[in-house]
Chains A and B, each alone.
Chain A
Amino acid sequence: MKIKLAKEDIESSKIQLIERVSGEEMRRCYQCGKCSAGCPVSFAMELPPSQVMRFLQLGRVDEVMKANSMWTCVGCLQCYARCPQGVSVAAVLEALRQIVLRKGTDHERIKDVPFPFMKSAPQQAIVCGFRKFVS
């Protein structure tokens, strides 16, 4: 992959929006990789947390939006708990979800959720799941 870098991309309005919604500054991340080391779902992510941060630093929002990382994040906050710079990648990923959901695009259709789950799961799982996946 070859990336063409430009100031307009690095400081694009999309990046500014992500920074505003997440409350995190991308350039605070110094790419140590501690988040990716401890992330329990990193194995299932197309881009591990530190690479999500890196692509956003480079202004490459599209690559991040295409990846499943934001929908795989469980919000366990292990990344934030251990980040030496105090950056919450979980907040950045939630911001990405919010940006999608706030446009009214659902990630999950309620009718697709398996019935046995709806019947037996704790209420909190259903409420939480809908809040993370549905606009």
Chain B
Amino acid sequence: MTTVAVQPGTKPATMAQALGRAMRDAMAEDPTVHVMGEDVGTLGGVFRITDGLAKEFGEDRCTDTPLAEAGILGAAVGMAMYGLRPVVEMQFDAFAYPAFEQLISHVAKMRNRTRGAMPLPITIRVPYGGGIGGVEHHSDSSEAYYVATPGLTVVTPATVEDAYGLLRASIASDDPVVFLEPKRLYWSKAQWSPDAPAEVPGIGKALVRRSGTSATLITYGPSLPVCMEAAEAAREEGWDLEVVDLRSLVPFDEETVVASVRRTGRAVVVHEAGGFGGPGAEIAARIAERCFHHLEAPVLRVTGFDIPYPPPMLEKHHLPGVDRILDTVGRLQWEN
């Protein structure tokens, strides 16, 4: 998948392992870090991301909660008020919705409504996105709800080393972070050493994953490997595509995106979430505002359709794929 620098002595590791290791290391370093959620203890989570944490740190540090997302996040708020640093697992994207009132009315606003006196350092891990053949309510791209809520930091890794580095940074953050885990990349592998994890840039910094000159693909999370594949395939068409991985949606690293698009003069935003009101709408608007005189073509988007998430047998038609990305790049007015 992505171009990850290979360090000497490293072995292949999965994103799932890197995420688990990030929580383990955070818990070992900071006794106030508590992991909680449905099935995160004995079972290690339905995706096994928290595997081994309850055994190593005890059930008081990695807690199987009752099955109630508002209660989980609401309790985490109280724990954070008392000085703990909860890491909450929402089992699936669409199962996080019962917690929205807690998230929007309390978690996102507490720093603001207490004039900075009581920030809430809570990390809310949400496996999100499609492509795993999940039945209804298991494949939503819910990021638009989160990015529309001021006070939340919204992070999404696309590589193994970012999974570790960004989760550590999220847990260390004094602000609440919605940490969106691209579940179809859980088993993606890269050379990565858990004992000497690579330093990664912090939250709020986008990275150019592939340099190019013809056009910029702007993406994040589950769509990064798709864009990287598309960029490789585009060489046959004579296009040298640059790929920007946002890594966090809030804060949005506008400068990296703008600098790239000013260089290439063309931009396509790619994400699984629907296009109307999706993050790509805002990104395209900002590019239009700040790169107008550098653009050779209108900013285009490749997004999920504006439909409820489809049944798994049809999801391949819904998700942004290499062909649809290349077709879209082809519409960037090259003839001029």
Instruction: Answer whether A and B are interacting partners.
Output: no
Tell me the B residues contacting A by CB distance below 8 Å: none
Measuring CB to CB, which residues of chain A are less than 8 angstroms from any residue of chain B?
Answer: none
